[in-house]
Amino acid sequence: MDKLARYREILRQLIFDYASHKPANGQIETEPVIDSERDHYEVLHVGWDGVRRVHGSVVHIDIINDKVWIQYDGTSQPVAEALLEAGILREDIVLGFHPAELRQYTDFAIS
């Protein structure tokens, strides 16, 4: 299996794992969103917490130029650590939620 196919499979499994964790309060569902053709992976929360509507991304990951870009991480279990544990190389992970000029100070890829 080539690197990109392996990364896609890791992301697919990771998204389903994160989507299996339901919020403790409210009537909120988790929805895995996987678009392997466009390399877009996301977990959404959708529902109600009392009278407040809940709709938003919890995890958003893209593959761009053979790198895994973490666009958003709203979890208590850091996505970057889960990616490393699953076998994605540190130099192939970009913390896209940090500004480009700050990424050089992380232990991850710049872009």
The amino acid sitting at 72 is Y
In this structure, is residue 110 part of a structural domain?
Answer: no
**How many structural domains is the chain composed of?**
1
Beta bridge partners of 72: 60
Q: What are the pLDDT digits (tens) for 32-64? A: 999 989 999 999 999 999 999 999 999 999 999
Q: What are the pLDDT digits (tens) for 3-23? A: 999 999 999 999 999 999 988
In this structure, is residue 96 part of a structural domain?
Answer: yes
In this structure, is residue 25 part of a structural domain?
Answer: yes
Query: What is the pTM (predicted TM-score) of this model?
Result: 0.91
Q: What is the dihedral of CA 77, 35, 39, 7, to 10 degrees?
A: 60
- Tell me which residue range forms the domain holding 67: 1-105
How do beta strands 52-64 and 67-73 pair?
A: antiparallel
Here the CATH number for the domain that contains residue 51 is: 3.30.310.110
